[in-house]
Structure 1
């Protein structure tokens, strides 16, 4: 092979993004957006890069296990560039159907020549060819000897997480959850009915070549099965829709705001729920959208302008600090709390590798503080909604039970009539719902609704 052979640009871009994430601790979505902004890239290249980055991150645990099995060199001894080239190559070989073995191997070898030397390119070639030959008979651990370890390798999740879920959910549910975390999440959008009807948007998207179907549960949701770079979609730029999963749309439904009310969203960036609330209110009243980070407030501002929602007032504010001037003044308060994010692993696979058990305790303490602080703003007879994008009881029903136990002027309120019939669970009568990707086919979310007693 020509040692100066030209490397494939999309694969090299994917490599740089993975290096950023795995070696420098960059957030996957931020690093991806930074590199995908390159005007030289075609939309087909962007889709390919996104698939390789998220796919390699998703399967990293299993891929590293296979490297250890098939490599004569320990992972710790490999240069980060060569390790990430190998990871990408194994992802292409084992987890995609449309890339020929020769392309996956040859393009990885070319990258190894550029980012390593002749010996490293030969090493990469040998490991990938060995794995390709064993593709139908990979040496997974013995399930009967250690179920947690087998599941963790088979579905690429950390062992501590698998053990935790096995204890809580049992084997069958856990395996279904792990499997669904590796699925590609649907690209769901919420129609902005203040600007356009659902049918009109459907017609425009289909005319533009998009394959569109109705959401699973909600009238205002559409699923686009072949999305391109969303910022480049004309219907997006005109504010005809907002990208938002159905689980997240349900939060606004459970809050059930009315036109003319004053609503406070204490952790509102990037603005999906705030803009939905303003939309439900028909752009009449006030939505105060707060976030602790200035740069995230800009995202809400952009969404608000694009969607034409004048009633949203953005503020940089720490949700854990009491704002005395708002005490007892707000009709409805939403606490979409920071959380471990274990309900959205299929969207953000790096959550599996960046979270640990210590994080959870820290996050639970912060959630408790934010919920307690936010509750002070609710008027007598007003509504408080607490939501997270996780499936951990300590962050969800246990957090709400603790809050109710310590705040006797709040009670949980039946939410069954606020949800679609097909989603009503027994817990809805008790005031909350837990959604799971493997059971409900939408993001893992928790939503609880409480009311302050009228004095």
Structure 2
């Protein structure tokens, strides 16, 4: 029996992620460049990788229950073959048990030896037989039960229960394991949403209006969008609605000077350029040239010429811009715990120690970037996380130390379909389980003097 190319590709990517600590999205993109892969194989390999990573904690727990060999003693290749097989057995309905088991055996022959293939076959067949009776932790051990059932680290579950309570946390964990909508933003410099929807339908793409933002479109069949003429011609940009809200709430005007201090890959900067009708100046900064190149490429495709890219570390004050900006956007580096649906490996790569360290970086960026504002100017601080210590705590501490700044309400800028009371106070927190968006924090600050 020949080795299934899609599954073999998924195995190589999974090995890269688990053994070489590669970022899932980067590893997937690199491996899927293989010319031998058909589009259907690319889609299947991607599903296998993200599905396995998403459920990795649970998968390893189950593997530990059914393997006669301890996980740390298993060859990394065999361990990842078993992980792929267990994902298919427990979390997909359309893959026959025989296909999941047999392809695992064939992979084990190639990446192990004859004994390995027999071992893989025995473990997977055993799990398949008892998949409805797997001994998960008892519900009385609430944290461990939720941790294994929804495949999130114990420390994360504990922290969220402390912040939000058990019921909310379980809904959040469940939501983090769902596949998010694929959202794009209409480029209003070139078209409108109605026309874009029509163009997408003509290219065979199923699409519908977004939930909240008038430029937003939900794609129902998003594979290979970069090959679409409508993309190449710059009629849209990929961006979640939560991220679109940031530019809407900062509300930049034509002719203004805006500094986007942590800009790459440039979704918010290009959205602001649209809102400014491509009139004014946007300084888009990042610490890496290759990331700035992504912004420049987007600007070229979208027909934007008011964005100027610059290499600059947002932690360092640039005195040449002190008091020069009408508006400042800080989409701060963060733990990313609001985008687990899109990047499931975040669950396992983040630690409590990192959370404590990143808040120092966020404070420094906010302190320095606030100095660029003119009196009467506005600053937006946002993150793609749901951790209060990275969000409202950072903003509250800044305001306490800087009496010339204050939170300013923006309820008039909120979409009619998104009613969040705290917008009147100058901040909002979005959650995937409530708002069907990324977990995202936005606050708006005005410099009075």
- TM bucket by the smaller chain? over 0.9
1:72 and 2:68 correspond:
yes
Whether 1:238 and 2:242 are equivalent positions in the alignment is: no
| SS at 1:283 equivalent | coil
User: Tell me, what secondary structure is at the counterpart of 1:421?
Assistant: coil
5+ residue gaps, structure 1, are none
Within 2, Cα distance between the matches of 1:408 and 1:135? 60
The corresponding residue for 2:270 is 275
Counterpart selection for 2:131 from 124, 128, 135: 135
Distance in 2 (alpha carbons) for counterparts of 1:38 and 1:309:
33
Which position in structure 2 is the counterpart of 1:112?
108
Shift >4 Å, 4+ stretches:
none
Counterpart-to-counterpart distance in 2, 1:37 and 1:316: 30
Please state whether the residue corresponding to 2:180 is helix, strand or coil. Answer: coil
Q: Deviations over 1:227-266 (max 9, x none)?
A: 1122222211111100000000000001100011110000
What is the alpha-carbon distance in structure 1 between the residues aligned to residue 357 and residue 438 of structure 2? 23
Instruction: Provide, for residues 150-177 of structure 1, a one-character-per-residue CA deviation record: whole Å limited to 9, x for no partner.
Output: 0000000000100111111111100000
Whole-Å separation in 2 of the counterparts to 1:42 and 1:192: 31
Give the superposition deviation at 1:40: 2.6
SS of the residue corresponding to residue 188 of structure 1 reads strand
Number of the residue aligned with 1:94: 90
2:337 corresponding residue in structure 1 = 342
TM-score scaled by structure 1? 0.98
CA–CA distance in structure 2, aligned partners of residues 230 and 25 of structure 1:
28
Counterparts of 1:165-204 in structure 2 under 5 Å? 165-204=160-199
Deviation at 1:424, TM superposition (A): 2.4
RMSD: 0.8
Distance in 1, matches of 2:46 and 2:234, equals 24
Instruction: Say which SS state the counterpart of residue 380 (structure 1) adopts.
Output: strand
Structure 2: runs of 5 or more not aligned:
none
SS in 1 for 2:304: coil
The answer to whether the aligner puts 1:103 opposite 2:112 as a matched pair is no
Shift of 1:36: 1.4
TM-superposition CA deviations, 1:98-133 (whole Å, max 9, x none): 111111111111000000000011111111111111
Shift of 1:288: 0.6
Name the SS for the 1:287 alignment partner: strand
Cα distance in 2 between the residues matched to 1:200 and 1:164: 45
Which of 31, 46, 50 is the matching residue for 1:50? 46
Q: How many residues are treated as equivalent by the alignment?
A: 449
Deviation at 1:421, TM superposition (A): 2.3
Q: TM-score, normalised by structure 2?
A: 0.99
How far off its partner does 1:407 sit?
0.7
CA contact under 8 A between 2:407 and 2:446: conserved in structure 1? yes
Map of 1:288-303 to 2, 5 A cutoff? 288-303=283-298
Query: Match for residue 18 of structure 2?
Result: 22
